């Protein structure tokens, strides 16, 4: 015990720094590795994303207990949540806020009866496109616009969902990779308390399919 106490005293500066860093990452800002493609093309497999954990709440470090409520997630936000239903941390986009009526008709989005607009675009560098060719389009809801991915192999299958009304205290979240995302269509509405922060940008990106070579063009990229 004396040796342990001596070791702590001799390294108290380093230990204090580490504790402060962990508290900062827990309550203020963090970075997460994205291992799946459910948010492609916005977030690619191997991206390390910056998460603003103070975007919505100031929390007691290492807990989900909110000390100060700052804001609520808005449509279009990319949020990070610790999902009980999924049993893991998820990164998804807010599609419906409490009170919204949301539907997908042949994969086209309707929010409160208003159809989103779509404009075809091209995206390169998505590795899944080699075995699963896809169509890409800007999805414009009036307040937000971002690119979604539709698998060409899934065309012709039913992709209808809803209409459903988002209950109080919950959010409807979808992945931008619409045919390859386990989201509110599978797990239902996500409680507000499970949302821990908002993803703001890509800190760095490594390509796991190419010996983890850096994708320099994605470093620091803003997430929309």
CA dihedral 66, 71, 76, 82 (to 10 degrees): 0
Long-range contacts of 74-78 (CB under 8 A, 24+ apart): 75/100, 75/111, 75/141, 75/143, 75/144, 76/141, 76/143, 76/144, 76/146, 77/198, 78/39, 78/42, 78/43, 78/198, 78/199, 78/223
Q: Domain 2-102+164-218 sits in which CATH superfamily?
A: Umud Fragment, subunit A (2.10.109.10)
SS3 156: coil
88: Cβ contacts below 8 Å, ≥ 6 apart: none
Question: What is the phi/psi pair of residue 3, to 5°?
Answer: -65, -40
Kindly list the catalytic residues.
Answer: 38, 92
Task: Name the one residue in this structure whose structure tokens are 């916005």.
Answer: 42
80: Cβ contacts below 8 Å, ≥ 6 apart: 32, 49, 51, 89, 90, 91, 195, 196, 197, 198, 199
Each residue's pLDDT tens digit in the chain (224 positions)? Answer: 555 455 445 554 543 434 444 444 444 445 567 778 899 999 999 899 999 888 898 777 767 777 888 899 999 999 999 999 999 999 999 999 999 999 999 889 999 999 999 999 999 888 888 888 999 999 999 878 999 999 988 654 557 898 999 999 999 999 999 999 999 999 999 999 999 999 999 988 888 888 888 888 898 889 98
SS3 20: helix
Q: What is the pTM of this model?
A: 0.86
- Residue 158: left if φ>0, alpha if ψ -120 to 50, beta else—which one? beta
- Residue 220: left if φ>0, alpha if ψ -120 to 50, beta else—which one? left
Question: What is the phi/psi pair of residue 199, to 5°?
Answer: -75, 130
The answer to whether 66 and 134 have CB atoms below 8 angstroms apart is no
Max Cα distance, the chain (Å): 71
Cα distance between residue 55 and residue 69, in whole Å: 9
Predicted confidence at residue 43, as pLDDT, reads: 94
């Amino acid at each position: 015990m004396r040796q342990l106490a001596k070791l702590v005293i001799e390294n108290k500066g380093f230990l204090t720094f580490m504790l402060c860093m962990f508290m900062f990452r827990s309550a203020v800002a963090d970075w997460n590795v994205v291992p799946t493609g459910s948010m492609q093309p916005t977030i690619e497999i191997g991206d390390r994303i910056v998460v603003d954990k103070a975007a919505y709440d100031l929390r007691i470090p290492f807990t989900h207990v909110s000390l100060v409520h700052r804001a609520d997630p808005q449509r279009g936000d990319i949020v990070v949540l610790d999902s009980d239903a999924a049993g893991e941390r998820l990164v998804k986009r807010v599609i419906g806020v409490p009170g919204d009526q949301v539907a997908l008709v042949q994969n086209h989005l309707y929010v409160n009866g208003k159809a989103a607009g779509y404009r075809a675009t091209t995206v390169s560098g998505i590795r899944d496109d080699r075995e699963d060719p896809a169509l890409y389009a800007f999805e414009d809801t009036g307040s937000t616009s971002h690119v979604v991915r539709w698998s060409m192999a899934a065309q012709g299958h039913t992709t209808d969902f809803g209409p459903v009304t988002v209950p109080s205290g919950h959010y409807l979240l979808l992945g931008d990779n619409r045919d390859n995302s386990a989201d509110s269509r599978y797990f239902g509405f996500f409680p507000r308390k499970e949302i821990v922060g908002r993803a703001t940008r890509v800190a760095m990106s490594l390509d796991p399919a190419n010996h983890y070579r850096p994708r320099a063009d994605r470093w620091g990229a803003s997430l929309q």
